[in-house]
Amino acid sequence: MSYDDEQGTEELRKCPYCGEPLSRPYWVHVQSEHPEEYAAKETWVQLYKDYAGMGMDPSVCFIVISELFNATPEEVESFLKEKGVL
């Protein structure tokens, strides 16, 4: 599903924990509504596995996770490599 924004059409993102539609910056919702999950980088492993299992390209997974957790895609990729997921 997508919606129109100022830059064109953007994918509608939902919170991976409660399914609520998210608006930018995505991490604000996760931080305020799911603080324990927000604080735990270990969550990135399961999110990556879930997104990749649905067929999402790894580079897109890094971007989505980074936006949810106010991190950089490189930080997400590095963490997943460190954990042996990649």
Indicate whether 8 belongs to any domain.
Answer: no
Indicate whether 10 belongs to any domain.
Answer: no
Indicate whether 28 belongs to any domain.
Answer: yes
Indicate whether 12 belongs to any domain.
Answer: no
Both structure tokens of 38:
């927000």
Condensed to tens digits (0 to 9), the pLDDT of residues 32-43 reads: 999 998 888 989
Q: d(Cα 15, Cα 27) in Å, to the nearest integer?
A: 9
Indicate whether 5 belongs to any domain.
Answer: no
Q: How many domains does the chain have?
A: 1
Residue 76 sits in which domain range?
24-86
Condensed to tens digits (0 to 9), the pLDDT of residues 1-39 reads: 333 344 444 578 889 899 999 988 888 999 999 999 888
Collapse the DSSP code of 5 into the 3-class scheme (helix H, G, I; strand E, B; otherwise coil) and give the result.
strand
pLDDT of the residue at 10 = 57
**Taking the model in full, what pTM does it have?**
0.74
Indicate whether 15 belongs to any domain.
Answer: no
